[in-house]
Chain A
Amino acid sequence: MASYYILENNQQVGPFTLEQLATRGINGFTSVWTQGMANWVPASQVPELQAVINRPQGFQSPPPYQGGGYQQGPQTGPAPSYGYNSSYAQQGPQAGPCPKTWMVESILVTLFCCLPLGIAGIVHASRVSSAYGEGRYADAVRASQDAGKWTKIGFWLGLIGVIIYILIYVFIFGAAIIANS
């Protein structure tokens, strides 16, 4: 069962199950985060949450004030801001659980892929940790993506090397069989 964290008044609350979110009353603009997401996103962008958005159960927070008068209607007002990451990074000390640091994966790449790129991954893990510790959540997310990139480059280079090696081996082995027959 997936569990979701949501932002209420720029405070992270949760985790909640879908049922709990439904009774809590969230709208399409509520920032949500669940495992597997790199960033907070508006609930309206999460397919699984469509069923629980704007349910008239319990207390429901009003939609964000968008400026403009009644006569204009909500559609003609300025578009709601989706700059969730930067604004919450400045306002809240911790906008979600610490992003993946990729430390374990980097250690495994270091030990098995024979490539010093794993060490680069571990060093990047420290950037995730320090940015998150200082409350710079958006920076931590970015550092996490960097760390993941280095680790994946190390992994794929290692795998490509192995595949090339096996192909060469099969080629030489095959050539030897043909030459002997």
Chain B
Amino acid sequence: MTPRHTLIMWTIVGVVAMVVYFFFDPATENFFPGCVFLKLTGLKCPGCGSQRAVHSLLHLDFAAAFRYNALLVVSLPVVFFLLVVEMLRTRRPHLYRRVHSQAVIWTIVAIVLAWWVLRNLL
């Protein structure tokens, strides 16, 4: 698969997923898969609530999305930026280097771990 094919495939997957999550609410419909980690341990993982948060975001209910998974809402603009940098990896190698520095990567790890712990304590 060429990068172009990969991009087309993920765009289709993304659009289909957005249609499904727009018309069906994971908070009330029970055919959406739940989190395995939550079922096994009773603790929330960093991604718990993402499906409900996406549904809320698609209905422009940012407050509800933030309550379901604050990390998801906060990281979406960051993820968008990172994807752009990823596509420019060979054309702008220095930008890629600067964004994928040790400081950035470990900050992300720290935020995810802190979010994982805090959401189970709060």
Please report A residues at the B interface, Cβ cutoff 8 Å.
Answer: 3, 15, 34-36, 97-98, 100-101, 103-104, 107-108, 110-116, 118-119, 122-123, 125-126, 128-130, 132-133, 161-162, 165-166, 169
B9 at the A interface (CB under 8 A): no
From A97, A125, A165, contact of B105 by CB (8 A): A125
Question: Chain B nearest CB: distance from A151 CB in Å?
Answer: 13
Give the size category of B's interface with A.
35 or more
For the complex, what is the distance from the CA of A129 to the CA of B100, rounded to whole Å? 7
For the complex, what is the distance from the CA of A166 to the CA of B32, rounded to whole Å? 8
For the complex, what is the distance from the CA of A6 to the CA of B41, rounded to whole Å? 52
Please report B residues at the A interface, Cβ cutoff 8 Å.
Answer: 2-3, 31, 33-38, 45-48, 50, 69, 71-72, 75, 79, 82-83, 86, 89-91, 93, 96-97, 100-102, 105-106, 108-109, 112-113
**Which of chain A's residues have a CB closer than 8 A to the CB of B83?**
104
| A104–B86 CB distance below 8 A | yes
| B71–A111 CB distance below 8 A | yes
- The verdict on A103 contacting B50 (CB below 8 Å), with A97-B90, A169-B31 known, is no
| A125–B35 CB distance below 8 A | no
| A97–B79 CB distance below 8 A | no
Provide a sorted-by-A list of 12 A–B residue pairs whose CB atoms are within 8 angstroms: A3-B91, A36-B3, A110-B47, A111-B46, A111-B79, A113-B47, A114-B50, A119-B112, A122-B112, A129-B100, A133-B101, A162-B33
Question: Chain A nearest CB: distance from B68 CB in Å?
Answer: 12
- The verdict on A112 contacting B102 (CB below 8 Å), with A98-B93, A107-B79 known, is no
Question: Chain B nearest CB: distance from A58 CB in Å?
Answer: 25
